[in-house]
Chains A and B, each alone.
Chain A
């Protein structure tokens, strides 16, 4: 797409991201001192539940929301691509019309524009659907179109807000193939997801819980930073530090001591995120109610 720049692994920081930003919506603090770095030729995942602040963070990164404090480092709007969590496509236009509308808005017109649209239709396997009304496409096809529209102008920074939510696993695999192609060509990609298995595919991860950073780093570094030990239990447990996973019970032991009859297990990213949240909730006694 924009052509691989041939840089080495140590030289890939784009310098884009946000530093300790806080965003308020009236009295609500949507983000509280959150930092995120987005590397060139890499996927950075922002993970969290609905309402955790993922959208606000990505909107701040593309300049659509102004933080009350902190710094945002982003390229010019013409070098940024953004797919919002909403539809982001025109349902009453055809696939072709959606693409040419956006191409013209970015000044990609004439023969170059037509070539670019062909290239994108092929990459997203939407060639056969080019004349169809977008409102009649499946969710997976619509998301692929939204992605194609966001990269018409070959942005250096691509920001995707939950591109795979509600998308079936097959379309999700196709979207990830496209994301891989863009990263391989050097695009810096930040994407939000509620799926932990998608976060595991990212080069680095930022986990948000109610507007705050719960964990950040590479998936491996988040897992190796888990405090205490994780145990597999022989039977169900009512212990608040125990939870059920894959048909068996696990328990986090902050001081490392083993519950009776338990065996030590290696945590993965999903375990690490459960433990991080247990640690926060043990500290605050939060009952889950959103602060007004």
Chain B
């Protein structure tokens, strides 16, 4: 079942068209990643999807009806700032969140690591744990749809993996998840990705589908500096990785020609592009 759906939704602020005819759906049990450069319209789209902002055109449906106070009770939302009270304990925060939705907080339902800190002030916890508590608060009223804005920013890899386990566990119970992220390596945690540039959807699918057949030329040179300067001066999208270079979405012939012209000797290998490289290439190409 589709939990949230936008159809040809648009939004203007004054004369500016911020969202341009976007179709986006989240079904039961799936994790949809919403990616885009700043100013792509992700936040505006999320506010419309949550029913907080009216579209200028098109429709938004939540649970097959118009957004309302009733649909709000079926939604969980974790903003980037988390929305926790730093001067309350973990237990007090979770109890407050549950009661706001007419529920009771049951500490026994918590994972052991969170249960162990119910008496601790949120202020005294590291960010990774705070993020998990914000999830627990958003899940306290058993929402059917969870909306997460940058759910793992600022945490270390282990804490990030644990957060994704929590997100996937919710999805396995049937919760639909819509998550924005700037962490390109996280794209592979989502079932489906939607890439936005300048208010429009420019790509959809799994990370492999979005990469498509895109290739990167890997450049190893005795002097990476010389190779970097030659390719950079020629306007190629060259990136430094350790002491070697990568040039996504360009042919070996083009890279070779630029290096030869500058008198730089290098070994060139064609390798699959990363999702990050594909994303940046698509975003730059689609930017008006």
Task: Name the contact of A166 in the complex, choosing from B157, B182, B274 (C-beta under 8 A).
Answer: B182
Interface hit among A59-67, A98-106, A191-199: A191-199
Task: Name the contact of A173 in the complex, choosing from B156, B239, B242 (C-beta under 8 A).
Answer: B239
Task: Name the contact of A184 in the complex, choosing from B35, B113, B224 (C-beta under 8 A).
Answer: B224
- The reply on A201 being an interface residue by CB < 8 A is yes
* Contact (Cβ within 8 A) A48 B156: yes
- The reply on A86 being an interface residue by CB < 8 A is no
* Contact (Cβ within 8 A) A288 B283: no
- The reply on B212 being an interface residue by CB < 8 A is no
**Shortest beta-carbon distance, B154 to chain A, in Å?**
4
* Contact (Cβ within 8 A) A41 B165: no
Annotate B206-247 by CB proximity to A: 1 below 8 A, 0 otherwise: 000000000000000000110011001000011111110000
- The reply on B268 being an interface residue by CB < 8 A is no
* Contact (Cβ within 8 A) A169 B154: no
* Contact (Cβ within 8 A) B240 A169: no
**Which residues in A have their C-beta under 8 angstroms from that of B124?**
289-290, 292
- The reply on A76 being an interface residue by CB < 8 A is no
* Contact (Cβ within 8 A) A173 B232: no
* Contact (Cβ within 8 A) A171 B185: no
Residue of B nearest to A195 (CB): B183
Residue of B nearest to A208 (CB): B156
Check A181/B117 contact, CB under 8 A, given A43-B240, A246-B189, A277-B156.
Answer: no
* Contact (Cβ within 8 A) B184 A197: yes
**Shortest beta-carbon distance, A33 to chain B, in Å?**
20
- The reply on B36 being an interface residue by CB < 8 A is yes
* Contact (Cβ within 8 A) B238 A173: no
**Which residues in A have their C-beta under 8 angstroms from that of B157?**
196, 270, 273-274, 277
Annotate B259-288 by CB proximity to A: 1 below 8 A, 0 otherwise: 000000000000000101001100110010
* Contact (Cβ within 8 A) A50 B127: yes
- The reply on B164 being an interface residue by CB < 8 A is yes
Residue of B nearest to A9 (CB): B243
Within B104-143, the residues touching A (CB, 8 Å) are: 113, 116-117, 120, 124-129
**Which residues in A have their C-beta under 8 angstroms from that of B238?**
177, 180
Give the distance in Å from the alpha carbon of A48 to the alpha carbon of B157 in the complex: 9
The interface on chain B, measured as residues whose beta carbon lies within 8 A of the other chain's beta carbons, has a size of 53
- The reply on A96 being an interface residue by CB < 8 A is no
**Which residues in A have their C-beta under 8 angstroms from that of B37?**
168-171
Residue of A nearest to B183 (CB): A195
**Shortest beta-carbon distance, A222 to chain B, in Å?**
12
**Which residues in B have their C-beta under 8 angstroms from that of A243?**
158, 161-162, 165
* Contact (Cβ within 8 A) A247 B189: yes
- The reply on A218 being an interface residue by CB < 8 A is yes
**Shortest beta-carbon distance, A228 to chain B, in Å?**
16
* Contact (Cβ within 8 A) B113 A200: no
Task: Name the contact of B153 in the complex, choosing from A170, A176, A194, A219 (C-beta under 8 A).
Answer: A194
**Which residues in A have their C-beta under 8 angstroms from that of B56?**
none
- The reply on B46 being an interface residue by CB < 8 A is no
**Shortest beta-carbon distance, A170 to chain B, in Å?**
4
Can you give 15 A-B contacts (C-beta < 8 A)? A50-B127, A139-B38, A170-B283, A180-B238, A184-B224, A184-B225, A194-B156, A201-B239, A201-B240, A201-B241, A209-B156, A245-B189, A270-B185, A274-B158, A292-B124
Leading 6 A-B pairs by shortest Cβ distance = A180-B240, A243-B161, A246-B188, A49-B156, A168-B38, A168-B37
Supplied contacts A201-B239, A247-B188, 18 more A-B pairs, CB within 8 Å: A49-B155, A49-B156, A50-B126, A50-B154, A50-B155, A51-B127, A138-B39, A167-B38, A177-B237, A180-B240, A186-B225, A244-B165, A244-B168, A245-B164, A246-B188, A246-B189, A274-B161, A277-B158
Residues of B within 8 A of A (CB): 35-40, 113, 116-117, 120, 124-129, 153-159, 161-162, 164-165, 168, 182-185, 188-189, 224-225, 228-229, 232, 237-243, 274, 276, 279-280, 283-284, 287
Residues of A within 8 A of B (CB): 4, 41-43, 48-52, 138-140, 165-173, 176-177, 179-181, 183-186, 194-197, 200-203, 209-210, 218-220, 243-247, 270, 273-274, 277-278, 287-290, 292
